[in-house]
């Protein structure tokens, strides 16, 4: 594989990871917290409904998990393409 092909594969994978992370983040924060809240309002979590929990805490926790996932996955991708830190 040439250097240009490797760089293209690297950025294509990177953009795919970013896209899916943003889709998950938007679904959890905007979807579950606002749009789908009436549908999940009957489910109780910690004394409140699930929609409120997603709007207040769930989206933040998912966002933090996505940050750690992205860092872990990019480190792995860097190593696969010979760009890992020494």
In angstroms, the CA 83 to CA 77 distance is 8
Arithmetic mean of pLDDT over the chain: 86
Answer yes or no: is 85 within a domain.
no
32-62 tens-digit pLDDT: 878 888 888 888 877 888 878 877 888 889 9
Q: Which residues is 14 bridged to in the sheet?
A: none
Q: What is the pTM of this model?
A: 0.78
With respect to residue 86, please indicate whether it lies within any of the assigned structural domains: no
In a domain, 20, yes or no: yes
Residue 20, pLDDT score: 96
38 lies in some domain? yes
Domain-located, residue 10 = yes
Domain that holds residue 65: 3-80
């Amino acid at each position: 594989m040439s250097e240009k092909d490797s760089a293209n594969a690297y950025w294509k994978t990177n953009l795919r990871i970013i896209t899916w992370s943003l889709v998950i983040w938007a679904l959890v924060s905007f979807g579950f917290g606002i749009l789908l809240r009436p549908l999940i309002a009957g489910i109780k979590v910690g004394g409140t409904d699930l929609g409120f929990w997603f709007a207040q805490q769930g989206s933040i926790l998912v966002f933090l998990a996505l940050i750690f996932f992205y860092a872990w996955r990019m480190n792995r991708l860097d190593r696969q393409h010979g760009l890992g830190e020494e």
